[in-house]
Structures are given as structure tokens and as C-alpha cells.
Structure 1
């Protein structure tokens, strides 16, 4: 059983899970895609169901899990979820960072390996305009995450024209002080919330980074480029008009109410695994693989 894999009809093998454990959030980021969930629900998965999903996926060799929301730290039992998991190669989470100052140490002690933190701007007013929150709280959370060993911390900066697109150099200067423990991820805006007016020219961003980089790597997944600049690392994530984004997708998503989601951009092929045992979940995972189809299809 351990030798089996979850491979779809396009030859893409699942290597990781991305599990939304809540769609509640304390911020109102104007770029939020809500992990593709189109409605709010109070039917959050139990700790047991989340652990069973991970156990089932491990049978197929999946050993990486990323938790998201909403804001995953809205769940007071997140530490319990982490402790209930089987042994894995990598356990990470993506968060807005507003609760990290208080909980980073406990999260690390419960099994979390590393963390991604959304940080669209270092400027208090710009941050408030984009998210409705207080950037000072997030900065304390970044320090707590680094101090707790949740590294490398990745700062997710969704680029928005006229709002934060001029803040890239400032953000690069900011992460210098962390001596490689913090990586900057520049993310192309996806137009989920009618935000087309904020779309940046991502080619210009790429040229800006290329001019300053001493070394450039390209990851096969998503054609993601890493730029090494003055001792820091900057990644550029380009999901728009990028067939590689789908062609190399090795991730299976789970919605907050316990449904397998074969594609971020579709909601017509969900498979319900809530309150199921690992054996049944494993069967349903194989069924979900039959529903996987690239959103960006060749030809």
C-alpha cells in the first residue's frame, strides 16, 4: 500500500496536501481568494477528521501538509490538530500573522516546521487599506516565528498596482536583518474579487529582479523563479497565464468543511470526506484524482 501513489490522468502525482481548517478570518484583505471557497460555512472539520485525511494521504506517499484558512489561527485547537498528525516530512501553515506573537512557540512545540505570513506592505496606512489590520502586530509575529524556529519564514507579498507595487525595495531591505531566515515571495494578483485594476505588470517586476540578482534558479513547480540578491532570497510566483502552474501541480486541496478540492479554480468537482475513516478517505482520494483536470489546458 505504501508504494501506491495518487496520480491523475495527466500524469501529475500528488506530493502534498493544502488543508483549509476554517474560512473565518479577522482581516478583510482585498486580494483574498479564500482558497477557492465561494461560501462561508460553520461546518469546520474536527481534529479527528483532519488527522484521518492526513493519515489516508500518507498511505499514498504524501508527506507534506500546509494548513491555511481563512486564518488558521482563528481555531484555538490548531495546536491539537498538529499533535494529532502522523509523522511527516514537512508541516507548514500560511497565516496573516496577527496571532503569531502569542502562539508561535506553542505551534513550533506542537510540530509545525515553518510558516508563511501575508505581508502586503510595511507601511501602516497601506497595510490598513489593503487588509483592515495593524501591521505592527504582524511584525511582532514575524520576530516570534523566527525566534521559535519556524524557518524559513516566507513573507507573501501580493502585488497590487497603486497600493504596494513600489514597496518591493523596502521589503527586500526589511528581510536583510534576518540573515536568510526570512524569504520574500512576490505573488502576482489573481482576479478573484474583481481586482483587475490592481494588476501589476509582472514582466517589469521580473526585469527589476533580474537586474539585481547574482543568481537565478527556477523551480519546476509553477515555473517559480528564485532570485538571490545581496544575501537575500526573493521568489516570484506567477499564476496568471502560466500553463506550468497547472501542468506541474502536485497538490490536493481540502476545504474547511471537509471536501477534497482537486483544483483551486473549480468548485464543481468536490468530494466529501468529512467524518470519514482513513480507509474510506483513501478510496475517495483515488476517486478525486479522476476529477483532476488542468484549468490551463494545452491547446
Structure 2
């Protein structure tokens, strides 16, 4: 398994299959690329089925054991079932979706090998949901969650971005997952550094503090050093607070100005156009994979991992109470390479089957 110079092994990849989406969420940052979403019809610049599968086959050689497919809305890809089915054996496959297309497709995705699903659900209020997503699809999302549960994808994780417009619905959402076995809740801190509108951000620590008061049990995950809160339905006392038939699990994803979060990141991202991206927050670390031959993918992946830097604490450092860019990590050559569409010379004699996992 490859590791960067900070000792962070890359065990997972997050692959955007498209920037197209049938929602227009006000907080969308399109995997850190900004609002680049285009028309609903398939476009030539998206990675093809074989490109995606080839990439996964190569990174599996380096010990990557999980992939999450994202977008845009990944279920707009007609080939998503084929991609899931052709994912290398032993690699955990998950998907983030708005859920509207899960009815009618969830079973086929499970048959293809999908193991987990995250569904965006920002409020249990139709009007707020419509304002946030710019789509009147509340019932379709709820039906999608049911379809995922019926297809055997429990636990289904609900993704809720917490910001000014949704924060008031957190207690209701927590109670919702506490009362409904098979659901989990992921509260995601709003990220103004890539989504804009800093005035929408709230103090996520207040949510932590509130959940700590409600929780029957609190634990930490190694990934991103995230905290998990187990909350039982109101008025009930669980005999086992981590039994999901008795309590709901709520997790907070809080990356903003959080060096501990960044120090525990073990993912590399891939854009829908086939660029490797070592950090969600950065715009200057995109690395092309050329024609996506196996040697090119290997070389680009090695270089991307080697150059990964924790965003907060290294790429951004705190000075006099303000976070500023650490000039040591500004790489103008990367920008030039992306502009030219050239990531450096690739050894044409590279062995198609040999993997170096420690350089």
C-alpha cells in the first residue's frame, strides 16, 4: 500500500463518474472542482467504462481496497451497474447518490456487487428540501431510501450538509434515524472554502456538544478521526447502545480548519475527466493519467500519493489566528502540466505487471 511522506497510506479511492446531476444543490462543490455541471446528456469527456475499470484494477495492485462512486449524480451513468460488476474482487464498493433513481435500480446494483450507499437527505421538510436542492423530488428521495433498504443495502447512510438553512432540522433527523432501523446519519460540515458563502457556515462544535448530551455512547473512527454518536429514540434506554435495533448512529464529518481530520485522510480522488486529485480542497494538484494505459495510471498514482499533503496543518498553516497558504507546497509545475495535458514522461518499457508499493 502506498503512503505519502506523512505516513498516510492510501486505502481508498473516490471516483466521480460524471459532473451531471438532476439536482442543483446550493452547497454543491462538485468534488472540489466548483460548479462545473453541464447538460444532462452524456458527454465525451467523461471517463469510459473501460477507463474506470482499468484504473480500479491498477490501484487494487497497490492495496487499495475500497472505492466510492460519486458525481454529480452517478446513477445518470447508464453503465454504472457494469462498472460495479467489473470492480476488482475484494474491493468494497459504495455509492453516493441523491437517491431519486434507486427505485428500479437498487436490486440490480446489489446484484452487481454494490455493498453500501449514501443518500443525500438534507431536511425532513419538503419546502426546505426544495430550496436546498432546487428540485421538488422529496418523495422520490424517500422512495429511493426505501428501495435501498428493500434491496439489502442496510445500513443506508443519510448525508446531511449542516449549514444555516438546514441546521434547525438536525434534531428531527437524528430522531428519524434513531427510530428507523437500517438508517444512519452523516452530518457534513459546510465547506465555505470550496463552496463559497461563508455566511452560511455554522459552528459545528455546537452540534458535537449537543449530540454528546443526547448520545448513549460515543466512539471515534480512525478515518479522519471522526466521532460517532449512538442515540436511542426519545424516552427509551437501550440495553446495548451500539445495537442498531435500539439506537441510531450519527457521525459528524468536520474537515474545516481541522488538522486532525486531514492527518487521518486515506483517500485519493478521481475526477469525471480522469484526473487524479490528492486533496478535495486543492485546485492545484490535478494530475492527468494520459491515455490511461496501465503504466501511465501507475506512474500518475504513485506521484499523486507521494505528493499528498494534509490540507490543514501543512498546505494551510495557522498564523496569528488565520489560515494561510504554506508557500512550500505551491507547485506551479502541476498547474502547467494540467494546462498542457501532460504529466511528464512515462517510461515506455514499464513492466505491465510489476508493482512497487513502497516508493
Interval containing the TM-score (normalised by the shorter chain): over 0.9
- In structure 1, stretches of 5+ residues that fail to align are none
Equivalent in 121, 141, 144 of residue 144 of structure 2: 141
> Contact 1:23–1:34 at 8 Å: present in 2 too?
yes
TM-score (norm. length: structure 2): 0.78
In structure 2, the partner of 1:46 is 48
> Contact 1:213–1:228 at 8 Å: present in 2 too?
yes
> Contact 1:216–1:225 at 8 Å: present in 2 too?
yes
In structure 2, the partner of 1:74 is 76
Q: What displacement does 1:148 show? A: 0.6
> Contact 1:121–1:127 at 8 Å: present in 2 too?
yes
The aligned runs of 1:155-170 (5 Å cut-off) are 155-161=158-164, 163-170=165-172
> Contact 1:45–1:274 at 8 Å: present in 2 too?
no
After alignment, is 79-88 or 138-147 more displaced?
Answer: 79-88
Q: What displacement does 1:178 show? A: 3.1
Cα distance in 2, alignment partners of residues 293 and 160 from structure 1: 27
Equivalent in 78, 90, 111 of residue 88 of structure 1: 90
How large is the RMSD of aligned CA atoms in angstroms? Answer: 1.5
Secondary structure at the aligned position of 2:296 is classed as helix
Cα distance in 2, alignment partners of residues 130 and 61 from structure 1: 38
Equivalent in 9, 22, 28 of residue 24 of structure 2: 28
Q: Which has the larger radius of gyration?
A: 2
> Contact 1:222–1:242 at 8 Å: present in 2 too?
no
Q: What displacement does 1:110 show? A: 1.0
In structure 2, the partner of 1:150 is 153
> Contact 1:114–1:149 at 8 Å: present in 2 too?
no
Cα distance in 1, alignment partners of residues 159 and 37 from structure 2: 24
In structure 1, the partner of 2:183 is 182
Cα distance in 1, alignment partners of residues 298 and 19 from structure 2: 24
Cα distance in 1, alignment partners of residues 178 and 285 from structure 2: 43
Cα distance in 1, alignment partners of residues 175 and 313 from structure 2: 39
1:242 partnered with 2:244: no
Cα distance in 2, alignment partners of residues 48 and 195 from structure 1: 38
Secondary structure at the aligned position of 1:150 is classed as coil
> Contact 1:47–1:84 at 8 Å: present in 2 too?
no
After alignment, is 37-46 or 193-202 more displaced?
Answer: 37-46
Cα distance in 2, alignment partners of residues 171 and 270 from structure 1: 36
The aligned runs of 1:215-226 (5 Å cut-off) are 215-226=217-228
Secondary structure at the aligned position of 2:199 is classed as helix
Q: What displacement does 1:273 show? A: 1.8
Cα distance in 1, alignment partners of residues 265 and 12 from structure 2: 10
Cα distance in 1, alignment partners of residues 178 and 37 from structure 2: 39
In structure 2, the partner of 1:286 is 302
Q: Aligned residues, how many?
A: 293
